[in-house]
Each structure stands twice: as structure tokens, then as C-alpha cells.
């Protein structure tokens, strides 16, 4: 079984983020929330009995948020955890804090990406398949 994760960056929108966590949490093994807000830190979800919720607090110290850095904080933590446990493969979805994914979304996306040997994917008006890690031509 391949471990599955979600990374959700958030900033000063705890109630919105809690809804996103509630939608993705039953579909993955662990949800990592990277909170870069300058207000009250994100509260724990009301029901964490079915997930391993792992908040990562990122203090931007008055600077403009760097979304790539915030994503990478979550990805690096997951990679460190998986390598320490001896895993060589894992699946990760990075979601906006206002994303409410439908039931079965993670498995469907993961299966499709593995079938097409994709390294990354994005939903939106532009479709594409990326098979190699590295910079993405925009």
C-alpha cells in the first residue's frame, strides 16, 4: 500500500480550512496543514479520530507569503517522515485551503497519475501531463 497525504497551506482562514480538512481527511493517511497566518494559529479539527492531523506553523515574520516555500515545507516533512520509515513511494495532493474535494477524489487522481506516469498534475483550464520532476514550463 502506498501512503497518501494532503498538504493544505492556509493563512488566517481557520473555518474555511477546517472544511477542506474534513473533505480530504477520510481519503488520505495524514493531512499536513502549513499555517502561515499572522493571527491566531489554526485550531485542531473537531474530530481527528479518523486522521493524523499534523500542523506545521510557518512564521513569515511580516514578509509576503511565498507559496512555493509553504508547499515545500509540507512536502519536505512528508519526505523526511517517509524516508525515515523506509518508504520509497508515496502520493501527495496539495490543496488550497478552500478546496472541497468529492468522495473518492484522491484515489481517482492518484490512480490516473500513476497510469500516465505523471510527476505532477493540476486542475484548471489548462490540461497537461508532466512525467519528469523539475521546473514546469509556463
Cα dihedral sign, 109-55-73-71: positive
Kindly indicate the confidence band of residue 6, based on its pLDDT and cuts at 50, 70 and 90. Answer: very high
Rounded average pLDDT over 29-51? 70
Q: Mean pLDDT for the chain?
A: 80
- Parallel, antiparallel, or unpaired: how do β-strands 30-35 and 91-94 relate? unpaired
Q: Is the pLDDT of residue 25 over 80?
A: yes
User: What pTM, to 2 d.p., does this model score?
Assistant: 0.78
Rounded average pLDDT over 5-15? 86
Q: Is the pLDDT of residue 137 over 60?
A: no
- The Cα 53–Cα 74 span in angstroms is 12
Which residues does residue 2 pair with via DSSP β-bridges, in sequence order? none
User: What is the pLDDT at residue 92?
Assistant: 93
* Residue that wins the pLDDT comparison between 36 and 135: 36
Kindly indicate the confidence band of residue 133, based on its pLDDT and cuts at 50, 70 and 90. Answer: low
φ, ψ for residue 5, nearest 5 deg: -140, 160
φ, ψ for residue 53, nearest 5 deg: -90, 130
Cα dihedral sign, 110-112-118-121: negative
Instruction: Report H helices in the chain.
Output: 14-24, 67-84, 105-115
Query: b or e along 109-126 (b: 16 or more beta carbons within 10 Å of the residue's beta carbon)?
Result: bbeebeeeeeeeeeeeee
DSSP reduced 3-state for 52: strand
User: What is the pLDDT at residue 91?
Assistant: 93
What's the pLDDT tens digit per position in 47-101?
Answer: 655 556 666 666 666 666 778 888 888 899 899 999 999 999 999 999 988 999 9
Amino acid at each position: 500500500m502506498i501512503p497518501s497525504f494532503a498538504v493544505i497551506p492556509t493563512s488566517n482562514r481557520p473555518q474555511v480550512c477546517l472544511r477542506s480538512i474534513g473533505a480530504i481527511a477520510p481519503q488520505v493517511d495524514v493531512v499536513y496543514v502549513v499555517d502561515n497566518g499572522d493571527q491566531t494559529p489554526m485550531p485542531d479539527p473537531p474530530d481527528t479520530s479518523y486522521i493524523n492531523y499534523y500542523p506545521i506553523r510557518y512564521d513569515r515574520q511580516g514578509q509576503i507569503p511565498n507559496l512555493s516555500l509553504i508547499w515545500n515545507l509540507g512536502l519536505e516533512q512528508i519526505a523526511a517522515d517517509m524516508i525515515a520509515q523506509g518508504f520509497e513511494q508515496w502520493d501527495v495532493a496539495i490543496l488550497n485551503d478552500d478546496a472541497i474535494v468529492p468522495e473518492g477524489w484522491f484515489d481517482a487522481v492518484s490512480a490516473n497519475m500513476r497510469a500516465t506516469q505523471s510527476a505532477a498534475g493540476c486542475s484548471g483550464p489548462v490540461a497537461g501531463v508532466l512525467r519528469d520532476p523539475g521546473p514546469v514550463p509556463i
